Chain A
Amino acid sequence: MSALLSVHGVSKRFGGLQALSNVTFGVGHREIVGVIGPNGAGKTTLFNVITGVYAPDGGRVTLGGMDVTGWAPHRICRLGAARTFQIGKPFAALTVLQTVRIGSLNRIADMAGATTHALGVLEQVGLAAKRDVEGRHLTVIERKRLELARALATGPSLLLLDEVAAGLRPPEIQEMIALVRRIAAGGVSVLIIEHVLEAVMRLSARIVVLNYGEVIAEGSPESLVNDARVIEAYLGEAYSLA
């Protein structure tokens, strides 16, 4: 498997807190990989390092064979890795269409072309009816869909989803799972951080488990639910896949 994303020995420290230490894993072409771990395990920090928000203290991140360690976020986005934010960051005063079109302009230089493209993405995520609504007036699930649409519009080869199912009601979670599946089926690799285990377990072919900034286990969802380290760190006795 030639990796699309490869994270190699990445470490990141904030003052006295070792947020990530020696994290190594990869995401292959057309693969959906999940990252789970208890609160504070370093999941979002991992995303921030991969997408260039923070430069790691040590280690390398490569995307499509290119070393992108320490690159600015917009350059990483242009190269093909787009992320959503855990706390949705809608452009409050811009409409849904305007927001997604800014993403589309990442690959399409002219406004008319970008508008057409953005409308297509809105159709895909089921937000077409809300195209003229400003970001601040959206509901939680609409914000999550908008985040997804904005990221998707940038034309990524790798989509990084930060808690896209958190805060959603069960039927909405089902919709979100179906949506991510459709996107992946279109040839986009997905790296997904999720608290909603059902979502991540059902979506991911492979899961990386983080605890205290370290990878403590990696494998298929089925293998992990029986892994003692994972159960101890995160799952507890309450969760079972069956």
Chain B
Amino acid sequence: MSARLALGLAALAAAAAAPLVAGQHLLTAFIVALHAAYMALAWNVAAGYAGQFSLGHSLFYGIGAYASTMLYLKLGLTPWAGMFAGAGLAGLVGVALALGVYRYNVRGIFFALVTLGAAEVAKGLADNWDWIKGPVGILLTMKSAPGEFFFLRREPYYYVALAMVVALILISLRLERSRLGQHFLAVREDEAAAEASGVDTQRAKTVAIGLSAALTAFAGSFYAQFYLYISPDTVLVFEPQLTMMLGTMVGGAGTALGPVLGSVLFSGLGEALRNLPFENTRPIVIGSKLVYAILLIVILIYLPGGLVTLGRRSRPA
């Protein structure tokens, strides 16, 4: 246990020192990777631990992005606070969605489809809502205002992203060791047996979605502050959802480190390759996507538990 703690601290120290040696291109790749890792961890709370395979998490991501941005533009509320408001709102929407869906006993693939539909509806609404500038999107001005979550350099964004990932790893580990987390696992494995063990499955599932939704919203706020532009076509599309799933499934669902490993591998490498200082990066981008697809298939076939299972001894079948 203490060896694991030492390893974790060493990794943290290395991550903290990374900006000292990395150039701006590489630092951007790191930020993208950390952001993806955070999103994956947030989705993992519902999908990995509680087995609620939502395909509509872009909805919560979008809520986070729009909530902190609109609160800042209309009320002057600093996004540092706005992101918590967004999380609260996303949590409420998640709980409401869960209550509606579970009331009608929607499970498995149908649950996935209903959540996907919810995200699509949200995109449709956002596209037609003038107050949030519809499909045009919202541009934020680049400036130096640390108190309002605006930085000119990338290092601060890097450290914010790193802090978010570390916090969510700790939350995930804490969850694993809690009664609530155990209830999540029971629900994922078998709802009838979970009920027979005294687990309120309806409540556990609702809490899982609500918590995961709230955590996901922080990522949306971060996206808005980092890229300074949000629109339904960037935050309410399937892309963020895909990022979450890819990282989680490749790294290992239902673990606190798997989503980080998977995200760093996929999103980090992708961004690093995209930013290679070549004249024409197009063949490289296409080539890297090909490599990903192959890598993804290989991992899903030979390591269905994700990359984290590499370290474990193989068990008798």
Contact = CB atoms under 8 A, between A and B. Distances in A.
A72 B192 contact: no
Range of interface residues on B (Cβ < 8 Å): 20 to 34
B177 interface: yes
Contacts of A109: 179
Given A105-B179, A111-B177, A98 B193 contact: no
Interface residues of A, number: 35
B200 A91 contact: no
B75 interface: no
B199 interface: yes
Contact of B197 (A53, A93, A106): A106
B208 to A, nearest CB: 15
Which secondary structure characterizes the binding site on chain B? Answer: helix
Interface stretch (A5-13, A77-85, A207-215, A230-238): A77-85
A101 B194 CA distance: 12
Nearest to A82: B196
Contacts, number: 85
Interface stretch (B34-42, B78-86, B182-190): B182-190
A85 B185 contact: no
Interface string B169-183: 000000001110011
A102 B190 contact: no
B103 interface: no
Contacts of A105: 179, 182-183, 198
Contacts of B196: 51, 73-74, 77, 82-83, 85, 150-151
B192 A85 contact: yes
The SS class assigned to the A binding surface is mixed
Given A77-B196, A89-B190, A91-B193, A98 B185 contact: yes
B315 A111 contact: no
A101 B201 CA distance: 16
Contacts of B317: 137
Contacts of A228: none
Contacts of B147: none
A185 to B, nearest CB: 24
A205 interface: no
16 contacts: A72-B195, A72-B202, A74-B197, A89-B193, A90-B193, A91-B190, A98-B185, A102-B186, A102-B194, A103-B198, A105-B179, A105-B198, A111-B177, A150-B193, A150-B197, A151-B196
Interface of A: 51-53, 72-75, 77-78, 82-83, 85, 89-94, 98, 101-103, 105-106, 109-111, 114, 134-135, 137, 150-151, 153-154
Which 10 interchain pairs have the tightest Cβ spacing?
A: A106-B198, A91-B189, A73-B195, A89-B193, A77-B198, A103-B197, A102-B186, A74-B195, A74-B200, A89-B190
